[in-house]
Amino acid sequence: MSVLKEVPFPSPDSPDLPMRIWIDDADSAVDVIDALALSPFATGVQPWSRQADLERVRPDAALAPATGRVVRSAHVDDGSESRLICGDGWTLRVVRHRNRTATVSVTAVSEELARSVLKESTDGAEEPTPDTDHVEMGFWWHGTHGSVRSGKPITAQPWRQISGNYSARARRSLDSLMAITPDDVNGRLILLHGPPGTGKTTLLRSLAKQWQSWCQVDCVLDPERLFNDPGYLMEVAVGHDCDGDGDDRQRWRLLVLEDCDELISAAAKAQTGQGLSRLLNLTDGLLGQGRDVLVAITTNEDLARLHPAVVRPGRCLAQVEVGPLTHEEAVRWLGAAEGVGPGGATLAELYAARSGRAVPATSADESTGLYL
């Protein structure tokens, strides 16, 4: 049974406004810490608030100033921890997760104090992003409390190092795609189509590295929801600019949607309703014109089976068929003819052959990925 409780904030200050919260047996200790952290801000005792979301947090990072006392602490079985820390005129809430991310939020009696407490708590707390063969990429998904974006460093090799993984036919188009600059953008849609295991995901990682000076790359983990939820679409499309190095210029953004066959197939209108229309509006409609957004879609479908509105002239910045390497290319890549059929081999099959493993043949309709 729910019970109305007035939970006192652990501070000698007297709030200017009353603060009451509902607590019942469905609430956890973490929920109580969240409520207590909001109390000084809600009552006006500490009307300034600042928050930082951290990635790759050092295990030994304190995430708190040298002064202050821990007044609440809660641990969860999934490895996360929540703490409430109070100091002279400020309150700090720290949430650490098992995946080494953390959220640090502070309320204070002045804006300057809130900034200084947050800075002292977070300075040096993150490990630096690896420079070699890594690039920062964002990942979007729709969670319980709305849309969420998390930035992660991912492995990404320069195009010159992996270009030999692709057939000469595809490489000509990919060379042009990798070399594009903002002045060359003519069309907002990038289509990478071909069988599973041909290296489409590897291409996108390399593209993120090649374009990192002018384009922020974000992968949407739930594209089927993205185009069925206008609010989510607006949040992702209008978006989130990464903190840069002081350059105030707005960067382009590339949204990556993997394996979206149903969204762009010839029967897409019947299958996804308004999904296709919203995708097209994002690429060259009013929504797309309001933001420098590109969309990259990978699909296992043949180009001829895609919706004609998707592949019409002028809409695509690039349409690239990422197919298997020919027999001669595959033999040259592997260094031996054994294990290479007369029709060539996909990148996944070549990596498996080089490691001594066999890859079962997949049917033309199978779309299980074999991501590389």
Question: What are the boundaries of each domain within the chain?
Answer: 3-122, 134-321
Architecture of domain 3-122: 2-Layer Sandwich (3.30)
Q: How many other CB atoms are found less than 10 A from the CB of residue 268?
A: 21
Q: What is the DSSP string of 25-89?
A: TT--HHHHHHHHHHHHHHHTSS-EEEEEEESSB-TT---S-SS-EEEEEEE-TTS-EEEEEEETT
Euclidean distance between the first and the last CA atom of the chain, given in angstroms as a whole number: 52
The per-residue pLDDT for 260 is 78
pLDDT digits (tens, 9 = 90+) for 224-246: 888 888 888 888 887 655 544 44
pLDDT digits (tens, 9 = 90+) for 280-332: 777 776 666 657 889 998 988 776 667 677 777 777 889 899 999 999 999 99
CA 293-299-301 angle, 5° bins: 135
pLDDT digits (tens, 9 = 90+) for 174-187: 999 999 999 998 88
> In this structure, what token pair is assigned to residue 246?
């002081």
The per-residue pLDDT for 371 is 45
Q: Is the domain covering 134-321 a CATH 3.30.930.10 domain?
A: no
Distance CA 41, CA 264 (A): 47
Q: What is the pTM of this model?
A: 0.67
Tell me which residues of the chain have a pLDDT lower than 70. 1-19, 129-132, 239-249, 265-273, 285-290, 303-305, 307, 358-372
